[in-house]
Each structure stands twice: as C-alpha cells, then as structure tokens.
Amino acid sequence: MGNRVAIVGIGHSKFGKRNDVSLNELAWEAIKAALDDSGLSQKDISFMSVGNFGYWSEEILPAVTVAEYAGIKCGSLRTEAACSSGSAALKIAYDHITSGSGKIAMAMGLEKMYNSPNSTIIELIGRAGNYFWEFENFGLTFPGYYALYATRYLHDFGYSEEDLCEAPVKAHHYGSKNKYAQFQKEITVEECMKSKYVARPLKIYDSSPITDGAAAVILASEDIARKINDTPVYIKGLGNATGSSYLGKRDDFTGLEAGRRAAEIAYKSAGISDPKNSFDLLEVHDCFSIAEVMAYEDLGIASKGKGLNMLKEHQTYHDGKFPVNPDGGLKAKGHPIGATGISQAVEITKQLRNEADPGRQVSINRGMALQHNIGGTGHYAYVTIYSRGD
C-alpha cells in the first residue's frame, strides 16, 4: 500500500456563544465525537495538532490542557495561521503520518472568542492584519480590509450591494438546515440590505460572526484506514501559500493572490487540470460576502468578474452545478477562527460519505471535494483536495 492519508473519524461541537462550557470541555465535545465515529480510543492517537488563534480565551496553551483533559497522552502542538489555523493543524497531522512518524493522528481546532469583550476581539483580529501601517496608523479592522475588496469588485464588474447580499441569503438558507450552525434562520436580500453597515459596502449580514466552537478529525495511514472505517476519505492534494500582510504591496483588489497560488499547488499535487469539472462540492472561506465570490474566481470555477453571477443564478446551491458551503459557511455556521478549517474538513467528509442533513446533501458523482481556507486578509492560504475511498 502507498502512504496516503485518510480521515477516519470526525467530530463537531455546536457553534455559537458557548458560555455553558470551558475551552477544554468544548474541545472534548468534538474529540469524543471523532473517537466514537472512528471506534478508536485515546491511546490510539500518536500525535495531536490543535489549531487555535487564542489570546481571548482562558487557556493560551490549549494543546497541553486539551490533551490532558481528553486523556490523550502523545505529542501535541498548537498551530497558528490566523483564520486558517485549522487547516495548518490538519497539514501538520497529515505530515506526521506521511513522514512515517506514526499511523494515527488527530487534528482539531477550537476557539472561545466570547471569553473576551467585543472590543478586545475586534482589536485582536485587526492586529492579524499589518499592525503598524494599517491597524495602528489607519484603524483598519477586518471588515475594513474586505470592504476595500468589495468596493473595487463592485465597481470594476458593475454589480450592486443587492447582488452581494445573495451570498448571506444562501449561507443562512443552509445554516437553517445545519444543527451545528450558529444562525439557523433564513434571511432575504431585503433584510440583508436593511442591516447596519459595518464597513461600507459590507453590512452585518455580509459579515461572519464572533463564534465559540470546536471540530476534530482523526487521520490514519492508508494501510490501516479501511480497518478503522469502511468509508475513508483520502487527502488527495494539498497546497498552501503566504502573501504579504501589507495591502499596499498588493496589485489586485478583486482576488487573493495567495489563494490562487495555493490552488495551483493543490491542483498539481492532485493531478487536476480542470477544476470546473472535478468536484462534487467546495467549502470556501466566506468570512465576508465578497470573500466567497473572490474564492470562486481564485479557485478557477468562475471566470474573472463572473462569481456573483453564479450566486444570482443559484449555481452554488447544493443542487447546482458547483455546490459551495452547504453547511452555511463561516457566515451562518459561524467562524471560531481556529476551528474553521477543521469544521470544513468535517463537512466535506460527511458529504462524501453521504451523511449530511436532508436538504444539504449534494449529489456525489465524482467523489471529490475541495476545501479553501484563508488566514488574515490573504496572508495565509490553504487548499486541500479530498477523494472518497472507493
């Protein structure tokens, strides 16, 4: 057998304001579910990586405290790549297996953002941009960063704010069908347009929320994956790239260059030449409405300037040609920063297993899916490609 790596267990907590549990207890919700799903126990895990942005919650060394609380006695590591910390944790667990260091590893992500006041959270997220030039001198926070992209995109390609509201309408439609989602109520374009501006032209409904949550996946080497789970989901390709944190050094404000490079690397590693005809679904990083639209184009499933047309025509709904974020995405499911990348992997695994909730399950024909996870304003980009075991 080769040295491929498969997901053999998944777990997910309820996302939202989780003041009912501590950080360690929240992590255990996802870890226990992943162990139960795989039929494995704590002693089977040879390494655990924990995606966590931190600073706002009670534990700043969560890999240590979570492992101890969960009864997992192995090497552990906290990973940070801003909003793509979960995908970074997944890659480290993947590398642990492909390097031959072990056969079973856990990657998880978690965040307790509500432990701190909103003003502190907003400042800490803002510091994930270019602190000196943009946050300290000009007061840019993350809605402001993405508002610059939205303004340029709407101007260059002739769209309106109403068109952009199609993204949160779709997100809330699927959030209403996902029991783990933070927001489970549908909205209309009209409601989106009436919501308050956060950074013009982005409104509250264009923006992902503050979220507490955890998610976990268990990875296994190919030679034992089918002994653990009869529906393993393999990691077929990985790509990651880093971009400048300084927006003044960027030439394009209608896409993210690091995201495009990460996709190119992932496609090459997976042997994919035609992304428009390769995937049953995509999980993309929709921290703001414009981020989802740009992702379509950066990943090559939409031509430049045509991403919003795909939304308006419902091509990216679960029964469309390009299903995107049938779990509600970051916008409605929630965005617990360190957990987001792992949550995307959990959803893709469910979908490829045909285990998603009614009204969200996509048609699995090609047996392949893509995950796109961005950190910061494009500082980090991770693209991961999955294939069903059969």
Alpha-helix runs per DSSP H in the chain: 23-38, 62-70, 85-98, 118-126, 137-138, 142-157, 161-164, 166-175, 189-194, 222-228, 257-270, 289-298, 307-312, 329-332, 340-352
pLDDT in tens, 208-241: 999 999 999 999 999 999 999 999 999 999 999 9
C-alpha 181/C-alpha 357 separation (Å) is 12
Catalytic site residue from 12, 83, 96, 379 = 83
pLDDT at 7 over 50: yes
Quick check: is 74 catalytic? Answer: no
pTM above 0.85, yes or no: yes
Question: Poorest-confidence range of 51-65, 190-204, 293-307?
Answer: 51-65
pLDDT at 118: 86
Question: Which position has the higher pLDDT, 1 or 172?
Answer: 172
Sign of the CA dihedral with 372 first, then 234, 348, and 319 last:
positive
Q: Look over the chain and give the mean of its residue pLDDT values, rounded to a whole number.
A: 95
For the residues 284-296, what does the mean pLDDT come to? Answer: 98
C-alpha 380/C-alpha 272 separation (Å) is 22
pLDDT in tens, 59-107: 888 999 999 999 999 999 999 999 999 999 999 999 999 999 999 999 9
Q: Note whether 246 and 133 are within 8 A (CB).
A: yes
Instruction: Tell me the C-alpha to C-alpha distance, in Å, between residue 9 and each of 35, 70, 229.
Output: 6, 16, 8
Quick check: is 285 catalytic? Answer: no
Measured torsion, CA atoms of residues 84, 85, 90, 92, in degrees rounded to the nearest 10: 120
pLDDT in tens, 132-159: 677 666 667 889 899 999 999 999 999 9
How many helices (H) and strands (E) the chain has is answered by 15, 11
- 3-class SS of residue 311: helix
C-alpha 286/C-alpha 302 separation (Å) is 16
- Among all chains, which residue has been given the structure tokens 């933070």? 182
Question: Poorest-confidence range of 31-40, 75-84, 136-145, 254-263?
Answer: 136-145
pLDDT at 138: 66
C-alpha 321/C-alpha 292 separation (Å) is 16
Catalytic site residue from 96, 285, 318, 335 = 335
Q: Note whether 341 and 382 are within 8 A (CB).
A: yes
Right CATH number for 5-116+210-228 from 3.40.50.720, 1.10.8.60, 3.40.47.10, 3.40.109.10?
A: 3.40.47.10
pLDDT at 56: 85
pLDDT at 1: 41
